[in-house]
Structure 1
Amino acid sequence: MMMNELRLSKIEELLNVLIQILQNLTNNNSKPLLTQKELLSLLNISSNTLKSWELRGLPRLEPPIEGTRTVFYKLDDVIKFLTPS
């Protein structure tokens, strides 16, 4: 039981750091949209983690252009997703 609480505490701490990074980016007039590659690099997460977040509600934006496979994410959406309600 104690080990699970420790893990949850560490996860919460890491999420708070990620939220701070994203909020700083937003406050510094950075791009409101990030590509999937940029988001993965910025947050240092795997594509499997990002897919898991999408399944839990993180919206992804795909341009309606034939042959384009670039996926984008709004910084605001990522911050809202990672911020506890």
Structure 2
Amino acid sequence: YLGTQLKIRNEKRVLPYISKKRVMEDLDISDGTLDNWEKHGLNRYKPRYKTSLIYYLVDDICKFIIIDT
């Protein structure tokens, strides 16, 4: 799990957020897994403008990689 965390954290980002699509691709998890994590406290972030995009804080995702094992 440490390797996965390093992969997510070491990418060059302007903001500390990662898109829902990117989380699912990088961690090879389903939409249902993210829904389950949200039920257990993972916060989602949506831009104020009208969009369907969903983002998560990278640090929050890393916490759930450890918790969900």
One fold, TM greater than 0.5?
Answer: yes
Structure 2 counterparts to residues 22-61 of structure 1, below 5 A:
22-26=5-9, 28-31=10-13, 32-61=16-45
- Residue matched to 1:10: none
Moved over 4 A (4+): none
- Residue matched to 1:21: 4
Percent identity at matched positions?
31
What is the aligned-residue RMSD (CA, Å)?
Answer: 1.7
| TM-score, normalised relative to structure 1 | 0.65
Bigger radius of gyration, 1 or 2? 1
- Is the contact made by 1:57 and 1:81 (CA closer than 8 Å) also made in structure 2? no
- Is the contact made by 1:23 and 1:79 (CA closer than 8 Å) also made in structure 2? no
Aligned pair count?
A: 65
Unaligned regions of 5+ residues in structure 2, if any? Answer: none
| TM-score, normalised relative to structure 2 | 0.77
Unaligned regions of 5+ residues in structure 1, if any? Answer: 1-15
Structure 2 counterparts to residues 57-76 of structure 1, below 5 A:
57-66=41-50, 68-76=51-59
Larger RCO, structures 1/2 (Cα 8 Å, 6+ apart):
2
